[in-house]
Amino acid sequence: MDIFSNIALGLGVALTPSNLAYCFLGVFLGTLIGVIPGIGAMTAIAMLFPLTFHLNPTSALIMLAGIWYGTGYGGRTASILLNIPGTPANAVTCLDGYPMAQQGRGGVALFMTTMASFAGGTFGIVILMLFSPIIARYALSLGAPEYFALMVLGLVAASTISDGSAIKGLAMVTLGLAFGTVGTDVYTGMRRFDLGYLQLYEGISLVALAMGLFGIAEVISSIRSADANPVDRASTSLKSMKPTRDEVRRSWFPMLRGAGIGAFFGTLPGTGPAVASFMSYAVEKSVSNEPERFGKGAIEGIMAPEAADNSAEQTAFIPTLALGVPGSASMALILGALMIQGIAPGPTLMTDQPQLFWGLIMSFWIGNIMLVILNVPLIGVWVRLLLMPYQWLFPSIIVFICIGAFTVSNSSFDLWLVVLFGAIGYLARLLLFPVAPMLLGFVLGPLLEENFRRAMLISRGNFMTFLERPVSGVLMMITAALLLWGFWSALRRRNGQRSIEAGLG
């Protein structure tokens, strides 16, 4: 069957009334859950997973997928308006989205990220349709050395995400790596650094860490701020959502680059939207002629990561469906829904179950259109959150943070972790240490260790395996160049500052 026949087949499946209803249910729940900080797609999919036993496989998959990519749309709302990431992938949107909201441009930020999310999702769907077999084959050819080199590149790039010293960025990455080692060693089964707490047997909760670093730290900082509510009512009008020509001009290329980066990282098992968002932000800052604008409300700083996030969410289905290799816990649940229905994911899925495969892909188009129609009218509602008195808003934020952290494992211990990481995040702000690299270090740490040890076992302890293989060797050289560039830029900035101070003296 050619591509047009497949599209027609998929539309015939996706446009049935029942599948349209389940698609809308999925994207609506995804948006709603994404807006509530900390809960995330994983919790929603897990809660609705038993419902899939009573649905046909296509309807079940369409609904679960709608929740998955719907959270990407909803998660940016709390990131931009409250500086609390709705999902881990939205954490980097806080860096420029929240300053835009403080400047009275929250409506513009939400409208533009809706467009970026749609563009990224559209690009990811096209890649999924045209290049699934090729990309799946390429991703399968990468071994442990290549994955390790890719992780190292991501961590070094993370040190350049925020303004300030590259050394401080690397220090926060290292701290994130250290927290990522807590829990059970996957190779030996030994418990590590859990301080005798059984609750740390499976490691530190990502939700607790993200909510503490961004949510609690922001609440403390805002309470101490003299200007408790900097947003005026004009910023909530429909006119305020209209971007300027300069903002539209600056958005095109970051959006396209972010969509491309997201499509690539989405196909790699174990990376996905969070890594794609951080990497796209680092790329935009490195190619910008005005990197000093980032972190202060740069439109590029929200367009690139949001496009990357949604593009990666679509292409994450490539390894899951074409290889049977889930790239995340959410994808593992979707894979489980297929297997319960007696369908084996893998290279033969497209030929054995064309109605399911192409019906699911066409539902992505429909779901993304539904999300735009659903989100744009609600922008004014979300922006009006900023008009609430802060003495009412902060307790509500803390309640949502606690609900999000508690529902992951139903453990009050996670609430204490939120408090701990809130204190760490606030202390880092006082000392001008960026917290975003710490989150990425925590996410990539276990993957980095696993692939490093696997590469050492395969090569019998030969460290040159990372340089001898072409792909990993090139990635390691790029990493070294980035590291040198970061230190050189920091040294040049310090010398320039000393020259200015000497001139003033």
Secondary structure, 3-state, 23-74? HHHHHHHHHHHHHCCCCHHHHHHHHHHHHHHHCCHHHHHHHHHHHHHHHHHH
Q: Which of 239, 270, 243, 241 is nearest to 255 (CA)?
A: 243
Q: Which residue has the higher pLDDT, 137 or 473?
A: 473
Q: Which residue has the higher pLDDT, 57 or 48?
A: 57
The yes-or-no verdict on residue 189 having pLDDT over 80 is: no
CB 99 within 8 A of CB 229: no
Q: Which of 169, 192, 155 is nearest to 442 (CA)?
A: 155
326's tokens: 């889930």
User: What's the pLDDT at 24?
Assistant: 92
Q: Which residue has the higher pLDDT, 223 or 61?
A: 61
Return left, alpha or beta for 16; rule: phi > 0 is left, psi -120 to 50 is alpha, else beta.
beta
Q: Which residue has the higher pLDDT, 354 or 221?
A: 354
3-state class (DSSP) for residue 322: helix
The yes-or-no verdict on residue 107 having pLDDT over 50 is: yes
Q: Which of 86, 157, 151, 76 is nearest to 110 (CA)?
A: 76
CB 75 within 8 A of CB 66: no
Q: Which of 270-284, 305-319, 421-435 has the lowest mean pLDDT?
A: 270-284
User: What's the pLDDT at 271?
Assistant: 63
Give the tens place of pLDDT for each residue, 126-150.
Answer: 888 887 667 556 656 777 888 788 7
- List Cβ neighbours of 183 (8 Å cut-off, separation of 6 or more): 191, 192, 193, 194, 200, 201, 202, 203, 204
Place of tokens 């809960």: 39
Q: Which residue has the higher pLDDT, 465 or 376?
A: 465
Task: Report the predicted TM-score, pTM, of the whole model to 2 decimal places.
Answer: 0.68
- What is the average pLDDT score of the chain? 78
CA 215 to chain centre: 16
User: What's the pLDDT at 496?
Assistant: 65
Q: Which residue has the higher pLDDT, 357 or 44?
A: 357
User: What's the pLDDT at 136?
Assistant: 55
- Rounded Cα gap, residues 334 and 352, in angstroms: 18
User: What's the pLDDT at 44?
Assistant: 65
Place of tokens 């419902």: 51
CB 67 within 8 A of CB 45: yes
As a whole number, mean pLDDT of residues 319-348 equals 70
Give the tens place of pLDDT for each residue, 163-183.
Answer: 557 778 888 888 988 898 888
For 109-134, give one letter per residue: b (16+ CB within 10 A) or e: bbbbbbbbbbbbbbbbbbbbbebbee
All structural domains of the chain with their residue ranges: 3-139+235-409, 466-505
User: What's the pLDDT at 226?
Assistant: 44
CA distances from 390 to 99, 225, 396, 397 (A): 17, 11, 10, 10
- Rounded Cα gap, residues 286 and 273, in angstroms: 20
Give whichever of 44-53, 126-135, 311-320, 416-425 has the largest mean pLDDT.
416-425
DSSP summary character for residue 183: E
For 445-463, give one letter per residue: b (16+ CB within 10 A) or e: bbbbbbbbebbbeebeeee
CA 135 to chain centre: 21
The yes-or-no verdict on residue 70 having pLDDT over 50 is: yes
User: What's the pLDDT at 228?
Assistant: 47
User: What's the pLDDT at 327?
Assistant: 59
- Helix 57-82 to helix 354-375 angle (10° resolution) is 30
Q: Give the rounded percent of residues in the chain with a pLDDT score beyond 70.
A: 80
Place of tokens 């900035």: 493
The yes-or-no verdict on residue 221 having pLDDT over 60 is: yes
User: What's the pLDDT at 21?
Assistant: 92
